[in-house]
Structure 1
């Protein structure tokens, strides 16, 4: 095979390899990811501080922005309505702390979204404590050289109600007590008759156990 043809084939293969190789992460991509991380953290800080002025700086003041809170029945659409929803939230809480664990960030041109698990701890003005985990999605759009929030949705992670936990624990405890009583009765009845007569205390406990376990 002529050397010229070999060189052409080699050059073609090199071009194909370069075309199919994934692009190396650029410094710009890393910078934008850091900017999204910062914007997302600023949102958590504003929420934790119950700072509506900070929210004004974080959100895009557009009619298409959306918020869905854990107690929302329908999506809240438009900046005016979203802002009012935050004012209502801040008014209900005496204190609140929000932090996102392991946020997952994706950027596509002028849109970025963050998904993660949030831990929410707070105290209502009634004195009632509020602690739960929530699945959260935040979406940002690049506008005027800044990443501004355009969507925030959060929903509680399902968990077993406390009442059900108490009932389950009570059932487990009752089952354990019944087993202990039956063991006591069997042990007492298995002993010689004279020993059973001499052990009045055990006899009383056995009778009570039989009565309560029925």
Structure 2
């Protein structure tokens, strides 16, 4: 079998099938990971004496547990207590938990950067605490957290390769199957790497455009420096 036939008829179709699964993993995990991160960050910062420690313990446990171990527990461990997930579902749940925990740290850091006077001013205008958080604090915090959140999204793209350990045939898993069957490791994993690089590049460009779109005049470091001059 010549190289062109191998690439066009075997490797690329297999990788395309794996890429679709990878994109599905990301599409299901990223939005819920962001929502979980927002909830945990707000709960940790404003949750009081009960919710705040719970959120802190959640972040501590997830950050201290290797993602692969978490996936193994979800897929292989929980059935022993009667909780069973499909390999895809277990992967998505693991990615959401991990992504949410790290997102919460980026968002919490951004929340801490918002001056307390804004909360006081919002409440002085008649807003409740939750209204002030939702309408004043969070919009600013999410904009400031975009660089960190984008990094975590890029990590999520790479995390998705661990789903293969639960028998989910995503991009890297498809590449490994082809490489093992045809002993074409260099070609297979080189193209897999190129595809991951493409996904990361697209994400980076999209985030840069989003930052420019949401930038508040006078709030960026470059504009602030220009104003000082």
Q: Is TM-score (shorter-chain normalized) higher than 0.5?
A: no
Q: Which structure has the greater CA radius of gyration?
A: 1
Which structure's residues are more often helix, by fraction?
2
Which structure's residues are more often strand, by fraction?
1
The TM-score, its normalising length taken from structure 2, stands at 0.28
- Which structure is richer in relative contact order (CA contacts within 8 A, separation 6 or more)? 2
